[in-house]
């Protein structure tokens, strides 16, 4: 079975949410450069974490598979944003992304 085709970095749009194939999550927002921020689960903790696009020559671990939609203008794309965490958490539940990695 072949790997699903992922979106090239040039196809990704800043502040858009994507279904991704990554080490730590399946849903993430693109930061506009080369990172995808999603909710990581590790040792009982849950927090925002960035993985980098597969086309990045260093630290590549995330393949965006399809766009889901864009973030509301009021949200800030930052790993310390509680409102971004809450938004992604609710979106994961609503869309059925329940896999804990």
Q: What is the pLDDT of residue 100?
A: 57
Q: Is the pTM of this model over 0.75?
A: yes
At 67, list the tokens: 């766009």
> From CA 64, how far away is CA 5, in angstroms rounded?
9
> From CA 45, how far away is CA 85, in angstroms rounded?
13
At 91, list the tokens: 């979106």
pLDDT in tens, 3-61: 669 999 999 999 999 999 999 999 999 999 999 999 999 898 999 999 999 988 788 89
> From CA 32, how far away is CA 35, in angstroms rounded?
7
Q: What is the pLDDT of residue 98?
A: 67
């Amino acid at each position: 079975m072949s790997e699903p085709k992922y979106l090239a970095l040039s196809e990704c749009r800043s502040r858009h949410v994507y279904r991704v194939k990554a080490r730590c999550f399946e849903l993430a927002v693109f930061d506009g450069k080369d990172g995808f921020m999603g909710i990581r689960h590790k040792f009982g903790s849950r927090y925002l974490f960035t993985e980098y696009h597969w086309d990045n020559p260093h630290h590549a671990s995330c393949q965006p598979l399809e766009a889901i939609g864009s973030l509301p203008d009021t949200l800030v794309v930052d790993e310390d944003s509680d409102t971004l965490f809450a938004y992604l958490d609710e979106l994961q539940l609503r869309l059925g992304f329940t896999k804990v990695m």
